[in-house]
Structure 1
Amino acid sequence: MSDTPLSEIPTLSLADEAGDPAGFAAALGGSFERFGFAVIADHGIPDDLIARGWADTAAFFALPEDEKRRYFTPEGGGQRGYTPFRTEIAKGASVVDLKEFWHVGRDLPAGHPLADRMPPNIWPERPERFRDTFLQLYAAFDRAGDRILSAIARHLRLAPDWFDPAVENGNSILRLLHYPPIPADAEGVRAGAHEDINLITLLLGAEEAGLELLDRDGRWLPVKPPEGALVVNVGDMLQRLTNHVLPSTSHRVVNPAPERRGVSRYSMPFFLHPNPDFLIETLPGCISAARPNRYETPITSHDYLHERLVEIGLVKK
C-alpha cells in the first residue's frame, strides 16, 4: 500500500468479505501494515441497537456522581463496572486522562473454569434497559470481531478459522467512554498517547473530532471515519503475535476546539481479547532472517494483561 495521506485511508466494506474474502483480507491487511488502523463500514452491528447504546450511555453518565461511584470496585482493576473521571493514565504519562468509563465483559455460566480470571458483570439500577442493551451490543461486536479476525488470519496465510479457538471465551471488554466538557485551562488531554493492550479494537463514535494516530513521519493525524463506520486498530497482543508485521500504533484523543469544549464526547471501543490462557507466541510465518523473532519467551494473555493494567494505573502493584 502506498504512503497516502491518512485522510485517504480507504473505507472498507465488511460486506465484501463474503463475496471476495481474499480481496478483503488483502485490503484490510494492507491498511493495518501501513497505519495499524483500518476503517470498516457495513459491519453488521444494527443501527437501532447502536442508537440505544448511545442513549443509555449518555443516560448513565448523566447520573449523580455518588450514584455512579456505587459501581466502582478499585480492587477489580476497573475490569467491570464504573471507573471515575481522572483515574486512568497512559503508560509513561505524567497526568491522568480526562475521562470516565464503564466496562462490560463476557458473561460466563456459574462454575465456569475461567471465572477466577474473568469477573462477573456489574449492572446499574438505571437506566432500566442498560443490561439488555449492552449484552446485545457485546454480542454484536463479538460477531463483527470474529469476521475481522478471520480476514486477518487469511492475510497472515493462516486458516480462516485460526483465531476461533483462541477467542472462544476471550476476555473482551466493551468500554462506554464519556469525555465530559472541559475548561480551556484543563491539565492533560482526554486520552494520552497510548497503544491498546488487546488483539484488535473495534471503535464506534470516532466521528466526533479528537482521535489522532501517530504516523510514520512523526505527525499526529486525525482519524475521520464516515458516519457509523468502525475504526479498527491493531493492539499490542496482535503486534507481539505477528512479530510487528501488524503494528500497534500510538493514538490519542486530544482536547476539543474552543467551540466544542462545552460538549461531551462519547465513544464505544470493544477491546477484543483472546482467552486468558491463550499463549502469545510469535507466529512462525512472521519470523525470517530479515525479521528475527523479537519475543523468544511466550506469555499468556492473562499475564500480559495484568502487566499492562499495572502500567496504566488500573491495578496496583
Structure 2
Amino acid sequence: MNKIPSVNLADFLSDDTTRKQKFIDEIGHAYENIGFVALKGHFLDDKLVDNLYTEIKNFFDLPTDVKEKYEIPGIGGQRGYVSFGKESAKGKKEGDLKEFWHFGQYVDKDSKYADEYPENVQVEELPNFNKVGKETYQMLEKTAKFVLRSLALHLGLEETYFDNYIKNGNSILRPIHYPPIKTEPKGAERAAAHGDINLITLLMGAQGKGLQVQNHNGEWIDAMAEPDELMINVGDMLSRHSNNKLKSTIHRVVNPPKEMWGTSRYSIPFFMHPISDMKLDVLENCIDDKNPKQFDDITAGEFLDERLRELGLKK
C-alpha cells in the first residue's frame, strides 16, 4: 500500500447493514496491510478543534519557568507537562525535538482506578485549558469506542468486546508542540521512528507534511489527512492481542526542510489504552497452523510499564 485509505465512521453507525459491513471490511483490510486509516465522521466538531488549538498554543507560548512548574516528578510524565527533549524513541539516545502535555482519564472518585491514575493537572494561567482538554478527550474516546467495535467484528469477536476494557481505561490525550528548529539537529528528529504502545491512536493535526508511515516494503510514505479527518493507527497492544493480524506500523515525524525550520508544528494524538488488568494474551481465533502464537501472555499494565522504561519516561 502506498497511500493511507480513507473511511467514514458514518457508514459503521448507519442502520444499513451493507454500509456497516463495508466499513468493517475497509478498516480491517487497511489495518492488516498498512496499519493506518484516515477517518471522517468522528465526534469532534470544528469549534471544539479550534478552541483546543487556541488553548494549547496559549499554553506552549507561556514562559518556560511557568510551564516547568506543571512538570510533576515521580509519575513518568503521565500527567501535565513534559519538557523539550525529555522523551526518546525506543533504542534512540537523542531526545525528540518536542515538548508536550498529558490529559489523562477522568474517573469517578469511587472507581477502583481512582488510586491508580494520577490527578489531571490544572493550569492556573488559562481558565479554559482544562475544560476544553476534557471535552476533546471524551469525544475522541467516544470515536475510538466505535472504531474498536468495528475491529472486534472484523476479528470475529462480539461487537462490544472492547467496551469494558476501555471504560476507565488509561488513555492519554497528548497535545505536542514541535518548536522552531534553531540549530542543525544532530541525529534528532521531531519524533524518531517508533510504534505506539496502546490499542489504537487517534491523531489530530496530520494535515501538513511531516508524519510518515513505513509500509511493508520498508518505504516511507507521507500520511496526510484532510481537514475533517483523524489519522488512526493500530498500537502494539492491539497488534499483540490479534497475533499481529492487525499491524502496528512504524511511523515518524521528520524535520521540515531548512526553509521551514522557523515554524512550529502542533499535533494532538489520543492514545487509547485499556484498563491495566486487561489480558493482552493472543486471541485464540487469531492462531492457526499458518499463524502460530507470536507473543507471550502479559497484561496491559505490565506492557505499558515495560515500554515507559524503554522510552526513558520511567526509571
TM-score range, shorter chain: over 0.9
Q: Hey, what's the Cα distance between the residues in 2 that align with 1:137 and 1:228? A: 15
Q: Deviation of residue 184 (structure 1)?
A: 5.0
Q: Deviation of residue 10 (structure 1)?
A: 2.7
The 3-state SS of whatever aligns with 1:101 is strand
Q: Hey, what's the Cα distance between the residues in 1 that align with 2:125 and 2:173? A: 18
Amino acid at match of 1:165: N
2:55 is the counterpart of 1:56: yes
Q: Hey, what's the Cα distance between the residues in 2 that align with 1:129 and 1:234? A: 31
Matches within 5 A, 1:46-85: 46-85=45-84
The 3-state SS of whatever aligns with 1:233 is strand
1:11 matched to which residue of 2?
Answer: 6
Q: Hey, what's the Cα distance between the residues in 2 that align with 1:275 and 1:110? A: 16
Amino acid at match of 1:14: L
Amino acid at match of 2:249: T
Residue by residue, what CA displacement relative to the aligned partner does 1:53-104 show, whole Å, maximum 9, x if unpaired? 0110100000000000001013110000000000000001121100000000
Q: Deviation of residue 111 (structure 1)?
A: 4.2
Amino acid at match of 2:41: D
CA contact (8 A) 1:168 1:275 kept: yes
Matches within 5 A, 1:18-57: 18-19=13-14, 20-57=19-56
Residue by residue, what CA displacement relative to the aligned partner does 1:115-173 show, whole Å, maximum 9, x if unpaired? 23211111111221011101101110010000100111111111111111111111000
2:217 is the counterpart of 1:222: no
CA contact (8 A) 1:108 1:120 kept: no
CA contact (8 A) 1:81 1:102 kept: yes
Q: Hey, what's the Cα distance between the residues in 2 that align with 1:25 and 1:125? A: 44
1:256 matched to which residue of 2?
Answer: 256
Amino acid at match of 2:74: E
The 3-state SS of whatever aligns with 1:252 is strand
1:265 matched to which residue of 2?
Answer: 265
2:190 matched to which residue of 1?
Answer: 190
Matches within 5 A, 1:294-309: 294-295=294-295, 297-309=296-308
Q: Hey, what's the Cα distance between the residues in 1 that align with 2:59 and 2:96? A: 20
Residue by residue, what CA displacement relative to the aligned partner does 1:244-297 show, whole Å, maximum 9, x if unpaired? 0001111000001123211110011000000111111111110000000012x4
Q: Hey, what's the Cα distance between the residues in 1 that align with 2:74 and 2:121? A: 14
The 3-state SS of whatever aligns with 2:174 is strand
Q: Hey, what's the Cα distance between the residues in 1 that align with 2:170 and 2:142? A: 14
Amino acid at match of 2:244: H
Q: Hey, what's the Cα distance between the residues in 1 that align with 2:292 and 2:201? A: 26
Q: Deviating runs (4+, > 2 A) in structure 1? A: 109-112
The 3-state SS of whatever aligns with 2:113 is coil
The 3-state SS of whatever aligns with 1:136 is helix
Greater shift, 110-119 or 188-197, is seen at 110-119
The 3-state SS of whatever aligns with 1:309 is helix
Amino acid at match of 1:11: S
Q: Hey, what's the Cα distance between the residues in 1 that align with 2:20 and 2:284? A: 23
Q: Hey, what's the Cα distance between the residues in 1 that align with 2:79 and 2:108? A: 16
Q: Hey, what's the Cα distance between the residues in 1 that align with 2:152 and 2:110? A: 32
1:236 matched to which residue of 2?
Answer: 236
Q: Hey, what's the Cα distance between the residues in 2 that align with 1:10 and 1:286? A: 24
Relative to the length of structure 1, the TM-score reads 0.95
Relative to the length of structure 2, the TM-score reads 0.96
2:309 is the counterpart of 1:310: yes
Q: Deviation of residue 183 (structure 1)?
A: 2.7
Greater shift, 111-120 or 152-161, is seen at 111-120
Greater shift, 123-132 or 302-311, is seen at 123-132
CA contact (8 A) 2:106 2:168 kept: no
Gaps of 5+ in 1: none
1:280 matched to which residue of 2?
Answer: 280
Pairwise CA RMSD of aligned residues? 1.1
Residue identity (%): 41
Q: Hey, what's the Cα distance between the residues in 2 that align with 1:272 and 1:86? A: 24
2:199 matched to which residue of 1?
Answer: 199
Matched length:
310
